[in-house]
């Protein structure tokens, strides 16, 4: 009697109608994907606004440093520091994109280990 019951339970578990598709994480967690996309979009939008707002003051600083460097009143170290600042400012959008890309990877790795 026990063998028949076990066999019937296996058939029930393997049948297509009783298969629980919601137990599959990638089908169930569509809200998490939407959350990630919304966060990435908000991050990119806010970083874009921040870069636009800071570009004018940053250009004033760069113009001021160019004037001071042109008068040769500063040391080579100060000139190198101003050059590095300008390089980092130009690379800021790429740095921000790498940051949001890394956040997405870490978030995917963290949520990939969860089983429901």
Asked if the structure places residue 87 within a domain, the reply is yes
In a domain, 14, yes or no: no
Checking if the pLDDT of 28 tops 80, the result is no
Tell me whether residue 67 is in a domain.
yes
Total domains in the fold of the chain: 1
CB of 116 closer than 8 Å to CB of 28: yes
Examine residue 90 and state whether it is found in any structural domain, yes or no: yes
Nearest to 39 by CA among 108, 88, 92: 108
Tell whether 4 is covered by a domain: no
Measure the CA dihedral 51/57/63/67, to 10°: -150
Q: For residue 95, give its domain range.
A: 22-112
Is there a domain that residue 15 lies in? no
In a domain, 1, yes or no: no
Q: Residue 9 domain-assigned?
A: no
Give the model confidence (pLDDT) of 82-116 as tens digits: 899 899 988 988 998 898 888 888 887 877 655 54
């Amino acid at each position: 009697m026990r063998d028949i019951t076990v066999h019937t339970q296996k058939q029930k578990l393997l049948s297509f109608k009783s298969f629980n598709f919601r137990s599959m994480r990638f089908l169930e967690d569509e809200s998490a994907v939407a959350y990630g996309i919304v966060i990435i979009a908000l991050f990119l939008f806010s970083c874009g606004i921040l870069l636009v707002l800071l570009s004018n003051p940053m250009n004033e600083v760069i113009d001021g440093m160019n004037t001071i460097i042109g008068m040769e009143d500063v040391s080579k170290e100060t000139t190198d520091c101003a050059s590095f600042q300008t390089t980092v400012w130009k690379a800021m959008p790429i740095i921000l994109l790498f940051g949001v890309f890394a956040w997405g990877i870490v978030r995917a790795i963290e949520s990939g280990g969860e089983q429901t």
